[in-house]
Structure 1
Amino acid sequence: MVSGASDTAWRVGTVVEAHPETPSARRIIIDVDGWPGNIAGQHLDVRLTAPDGYSATRSYSIASAGPGSRVDLAVDKLPDGEVSPFLVDDLMVGDMLEIHGPLGGWFVWEPDAAPDAAAERDGGGSVAASARPVQLIGGGSGVVPLVAMIRSHVAADDSTPFRLLYSVRTPDDVFFSDVLADDGGMPALRVDLIYTRRAPDGWPVTPARITREVVESSVFPASDNPRVYLCGSTTFVETVAEWLVDLGHDPRSIRTERFGGTS
C-alpha cells in the first residue's frame, strides 16, 4: 500500500542499476531500505556528503510509482552542478545514497483518483476526476514525473484517456523512450513528440520550437475539461501555461512543476 504522504525520514539506498539515458543524462535505479512507496508525480531528495562533512542536497522527480523498495530516477547533468555531475559520471552500482522522501502531494496522479475541486461543476452533480481526460506536457527532462504517471496508468490498466505532448531537442534526447514507444502499449494513451533541433529521418514535421498552434492542435480541448500536468524549465512551463489559459483551459486544472538551473 502506498500512503502518498510526504516522509521526513532520511533513508539509505543502494544503487542497483545505472546506465546512460541520453548523452547528458543517466538512469539510476536505487533500492531504498524502508521505502514506503510513492504516488506518480512525487519527488525525492538526494544528499551527498564529502569527507570533510560538506553536504549538498538536490531534488529529483521519481519516474516510478507504486509499492516496492526501488525508485527509478533519470538525472540530467549540469556541468556547474554540485550533485548531478557525480550522479551521472561517477556513481557506481553498489554505491550508497542518502534519500529523503517521497515528497510532494500536489503534482500527483493516481488511477481512479477521488474527485478534485476543479472537476466538480457539471451543472447538476460531481464528476469523478478519473472520468476526466489527462493531458501531460513535458519539456526535456520534465517528462520524468509524467513517465511515472504513464507507468501508473498502464499498470492499473486504467481507461482514463491520456495524452502526452513532449518537446525535446533531438531523438537522442528523449527520456524513457522504451516507455513511450508505441504509446506505451495502451490504446487510451497518445504520445506526440515535438523535436526542436533535429528530427528522425522521414519525420513529417520540420524541427522547431513548440508553438501555441502546436499546443492547440495536440492537447485535449478545453471543452473536454482535462486535468493538465505540465513540467519543464521555468520559461517552458510559464509560456505553455499561458497558452493553455488563452485557449480556455481552467487555470485550476493546470498543475505545474518547474526545474531550475542548479543540480
Structure 2
Amino acid sequence: MQLRLDVHDRIDHMPGQHYVVRLTAEDGYTAQRSYSVASAPGDPLVELFVERLDDGEVSTHLTDVVEPGDELEVRGPIGGWFVWDGETPALLIAGGVGVVPFVAMLRHARAIGRADLLRIAVSSRTMAELPYTGELLDAGALIVLTREAHGIRPAGRLTAAELVPLWEPGQIAYVCGSASFAEAASQLLVGLGWPPSGIRVERFGPSG
C-alpha cells in the first residue's frame, strides 16, 4: 500500500533514505517500523510503501485502520550511506519490496533529467507481488521472476550473466532486499569482479 504523508516542516530527503513510523496505544505501548521513501525529494508529500504482514503490529494498522486525515508520529529522513547523489552512475538490484528506495532514485533521476545514470534489476516471486511495476517497466528495468515466466524468460533466480549488460564504468551498486537476497546478489557482484567498496547494501526483515 502506498501511504502519502504531509509532513510538517519536513527536510527534503535524499533518495534511499527512510522514515520511522511510531504508533502509541492508549495504554502507552509503542511499536515502530522503518519504511523506505518512494517519493522524489521534490514531491510535496512523503510517499512510503507499506507491505502488509499478518503479524505486523504497525503494517496492519497502517493498511487496515489509518484513514485520510489521521495524524501519525514519524521521524526522518534517516540514513546517509544508502543514498544516491543524483550524479553518479548506479546499478540498482532489488528483491521484492526492496525496490522502494530505488523508485525514489528513479523518480528523482527523471525529475533532474538524469534517468540515463540508472540501471535497474529487480527480482520478485511473481509480477503481482512486485510494487511499482509500471514505473519499473517504463524505465526498462530487468525484471526477474522466480515463480513464473516473464516474457520469454523462464522462472528462475537472477544470474550474474544477466547483470553483465547493465554494467557501466564508474557505477556504484546498490542492493536492497531480504538478508538472503542481499547476500546472494552481493556475491553475484563480487563474483563478477565488482569491488566490495563499490557495493552498498540495505537489508530488511521483521522487526524485533
Answer whether TM exceeds 0.5 for this pair. yes
1:65 has 2:10 as partner: no
Output the CA distance in 2 between the equivalents of 1:181 and 1:212. 21
Cross-structure match for 1:31: 6
- The runs of at least 4 aligned residues of structure 1 exceeding 4 Å deviation read none
Q: Residue 120 of structure 2 contacts residue 141 of structure 2 at CA under 8 Å; is this kept in 1?
A: yes
1:204 has 2:135 as partner: no
* AA partner of residue 71 (structure 1): V
> Structure 1 regions of 5+ residues with no counterpart?
1-25, 113-129, 184-189
> Structure 2 regions of 5+ residues with no counterpart?
none
Q: Which has the larger radius of gyration?
A: 1
Cross-structure match for 1:233: 178
Output the CA distance in 2 between the equivalents of 1:141 and 1:218. 23
1:244 has 2:189 as partner: yes
* AA partner of residue 141 (structure 1): V
| The one of 187, 193, 197 aligned to 2:143 | 193
1:35-61 CA distance string (max 9 Å, x none): 111110000100001111111111110
Q: Residue 192 of structure 1 contacts residue 218 of structure 1 at CA under 8 Å; is this kept in 2?
A: no
Q: Residue 96 of structure 2 contacts residue 124 of structure 2 at CA under 8 Å; is this kept in 1?
A: yes
1:140 has 2:105 as partner: no
Cross-structure match for 1:74: 49
Output the CA distance in 2 between the equivalents of 1:36 and 1:182. 29
* AA partner of residue 157 (structure 2): R
Farther-moved stretch of structure 1 (31-40 vs 136-145): 31-40
**Cα distance, 1:177 vs structure 2:** 2.2
Q: Residue 225 of structure 1 contacts residue 249 of structure 1 at CA under 8 Å; is this kept in 2?
A: no
CA pair 246-80 structure 1, distance change in 2 beyond 3 A? same
| The one of 123, 140, 162 aligned to 1:167 | 123
CA RMSD of aligned residues (A): 1.7
**Cα distance, 1:219 vs structure 2:** 3.1
| The one of 134, 154, 164 aligned to 1:178 | 134
TM-score (norm 1): 0.74
**Cα distance, 1:180 vs structure 2:** 1.9
**Cα distance, 1:68 vs structure 2:** 5.3
